[in-house]
Chains A and B, each alone.
Chain A
Amino acid sequence: MKRPRLTLVVDPIACEGHGLCSELFPERITLDDWGYPIVDGTPIPEALERHARRAAADCPRCALKLVRGR
């Protein structure tokens, strides 16, 4: 059985708009007019998983999370 794909979720309360995530994972994360991330919540293909993990891990506020099957 295939495992459900990973998706990215941002905690808007924790997020301070450092913007690192969009530099690390521009395929799925853009910034709004005020520098806060707009996260594409569609499942992440395996080829991009490494970038997604890196973006989540490097968030200085730990506001970006990878969740499975949402």
Chain B
Amino acid sequence: MTAATRAQVAPPPGAARLLAGAGDPPTLDRHLAVFGRVDTRLDAIRLAEEAGLRGRGGAGFPTALKLRAVAGRRGRPAVVANGAEGEPASKKDVSLLRVAPHLVIDGAILAANTLGAARIVLALSRPLPQVEHAVRERRHPALEIRYVPDRFVAGEETALVRALAGHEPKPTLKPPYPFERGLDNRPTLVQNVETLAHLALVARFGAPWFGDGTCLVTLAGGFKRPGVHEVPLGAPLADVIARAGGLSKRSSAFLVGGYFGRWFSAREASSLTLTPELLGAGAIVALPDSTCAFAECARVVGYLADESAGQCGPCVHGLAAIADALRESGRRDRRPDVRRWTAMVEGRGACRHPDGAARFALSALEVFGDEFDRHAGHHGCGRPCERVLPLTARR
């Protein structure tokens, strides 16, 4: 029996797959009407492998490999659906959980059945009534919601596992990885909620239908229709801009992949295609020309420095130093310092937080190079910091 004959409902026709049910309250009845039933006894490892599914939490790790790593361990595993979306530029996981909580739950149950998991935990950083309602509707004995602090690093796998154990959300040294020792010391699958929702669609409609897949992106800044959109993977950035109704303000630089991502000039951006490597967790910002790029970037690096878990010296001191140097770059040329320190912090934390922040800062240097030249020896650009790059107030 093929996947196509298994499904009683036609697959969503357009690019909106995960979000096909948007607009109505996401009840179980509505979910079944839009997507049909799913056979949760199917082999999640095989499905993920056939579809070439890769994680949508930022790292883009092949889902089948992750599942297999957990399956290969001794002891009953746990499954954690990671809905702790700490990055302020990203809203896609929360949007998905609001629009299609049952799809996420389907994927988590598929993975749990394949692994013989004892627990399924939906990890959220804030209460979402839609998810709470969906969990009640499912009456699944192993399924529970747990809340973790809304912090940038809380979504990092080891930090998440620690938060679920009731500790502060701080990364731990790896190994051991969660697949070795995670929740209750069980082999633990930590999987982004969007990845699980895709898995639930692959189980229904098959890998050939899945194709290259879609991904959720969060658009901010100078787009006419900012917010969360679902786009085909491999689409040109230009298509995504068009889907968002075009630009509302002249923007000469684009941030792709959120705060662990990279800057692109408008010219580079015009020929860019959206690969999982570039997209990270899917946040894209169009930076309007009216705002001061240095101040915007320094603000983000300063935020990332504050959001450091505070455990590793190079991250604590290095990110603060890089943020200061960027802040001054509108007045004098601090490029050598930024270069020195971004190289210095790379790979020197327990997690990839310093690497991500350094990558962001270094790519700002490359893309805003002309501005650095123009400003060196002068006194600022005179443009205000419009705070286009979104940050979350620290609680």
User: Chain A's nearest CB lies how many Å from the CB of B144?
Assistant: 29
What does the 1/0 interface line of A20-49 toward B look like (CB < 8 Å)?
Answer: 000000000000111110100000000000
Residues of B within 8 A of A35 (CB): 313
Distance A38 CA – B348 CA, assembled complex (angstroms): 8
Which label, helix, strand, loop or mixed, suits the secondary structure of the B interface?
A: helix
What is the interface residue range for chain A against chain B? 10 to 19
Residues of A within 8 A of B315 (CB): 12
From B172, B314, B341, B350, residue with most partner A Cβ within 10 Å:
B314
What is the interface residue range for chain B against chain A? 10 to 19
Task: Answer whether A33 and B341 are a contact pair too, CB < 8 Å, given A12-B314, A12-B348, A12-B349.
Answer: yes
Partner of B317, one of A13, A16, A34, A38: A34
From A12, A17, A38, residue with most partner B Cβ within 10 Å:
A12
Please tell me if the beta carbons of B314 and A32 are within 8 angstroms of each other in the complex. Answer: yes
Please tell me if the beta carbons of B312 and A12 are within 8 angstroms of each other in the complex. Answer: yes
Q: Is A15 an interface residue (CB 8 A)?
A: yes
What does the 1/0 interface line of B305-335 toward A look like (CB < 8 Å)?
Answer: 0000001111101100100000000000000
Residues of B within 8 A of A16 (CB): 313
From A11, A15, A32, A35, residue with most partner B Cβ within 10 Å:
A32
Please tell me if the beta carbons of A11 and B173 are within 8 angstroms of each other in the complex. Answer: yes
Distance A9 CA – B257 CA, assembled complex (angstroms): 31
Closest to B340 in A: A33
User: Chain B's nearest CB lies how many Å from the CB of A23?
Assistant: 17
User: Chain A's nearest CB lies how many Å from the CB of B345?
Assistant: 8
Chain B residues in contact with chain A, CB under 8 A?
172-173, 311-315, 317-318, 321, 340-341, 344, 348-350
16 additional contacts (CB under 8 A) given A16-B313, A17-B313, A32-B313: A11-B173, A12-B312, A12-B314, A13-B350, A32-B314, A32-B318, A33-B317, A33-B321, A33-B344, A34-B313, A34-B318, A34-B321, A35-B313, A36-B317, A38-B344, A38-B348
A-B contact pairs, 29 of them (CB 8 A): A11-B173, A11-B350, A12-B173, A12-B311, A12-B312, A12-B315, A12-B348, A13-B172, A13-B173, A13-B312, A13-B350, A15-B313, A16-B313, A17-B313, A32-B313, A32-B318, A33-B317, A33-B321, A33-B340, A33-B341, A33-B344, A34-B313, A34-B314, A34-B321, A35-B313, A36-B314, A36-B348, A38-B344, A38-B348
